[in-house]
Amino acid sequence: MRVLGIDCGGEYTGYGVVEIHSTGKLSCLTCGAIKLSPREKLPIRLSRIYMHLGAIISEHQPDEVAIEDVFYALNVKSALKLGQVRGVAMLAAASAGLEVSEYSPLTIKSSVVGYGRAEKQQVQHMVTRLLELPEPPEPLDASDALAIAICHLHTIATLQRQRAVAR
């Protein structure tokens, strides 16, 4: 299974595609961040996110998409902008016929680090180890997106094990 993780943000939107092999080994196919200029008008920034995510989906053919759920914003204006970015990310996935799952930051950190209040650097460190990367993914938004994808893959694996036991 292959999952595109998306870490939505107003300035950077992180992305990462992670694949799980039949052996359970995780591998990173791509990761990075879409940098947005605050000087550009919001519709242009949203269009850039949509186009970039569409290209990643087209190139890497994920089976599903996972994004971080909104948890808080410094102010109403920031929350609205973040909501618009999340909407565009969901639209890019839905336009490609992909299912979207949402996870809270606490769930993502617990799944990857084992501690729901882990710092960004701890998440980055564990993502680097779990994916056996030669160096930590940069920027932090990229490692967060990889963590979201890993969380989704871990969640799916757990649900499959539970279903197997229930039979």
Among the listed residues 19, 135, 141, 144, the single catalytic one is 141
> Left, alpha or beta for 144 (phi > 0: left; psi -120 to 50: alpha)?
alpha
Give the span between the Cα atoms of 92 and 104, in whole angstroms: 20
Q: At what angle do helices 120-130 and 105-112 cross, to 10 degrees?
A: 50
Please confirm, yes or no, whether 63 is among the known catalytic residues: no
Q: Tokens representing 147?
A: 């963590």
Is 69 a known active-site residue?
no
How many whole angstroms from its chain centre is CA 114? 18
- Which among 7, 102, 119, 138 is annotated as catalytic? 7
How far apart (Å, rounded) are the C-alpha atoms in residues 67 and 24?
22
Which one of 68, 69, 102, 138 is the catalytic residue? 68
Q: Is the distance from CB of 47 to CB of 35 less than 8 angstroms?
A: no
40 catalytic per annotation: no
Positions marked active-site: 7, 68, 141
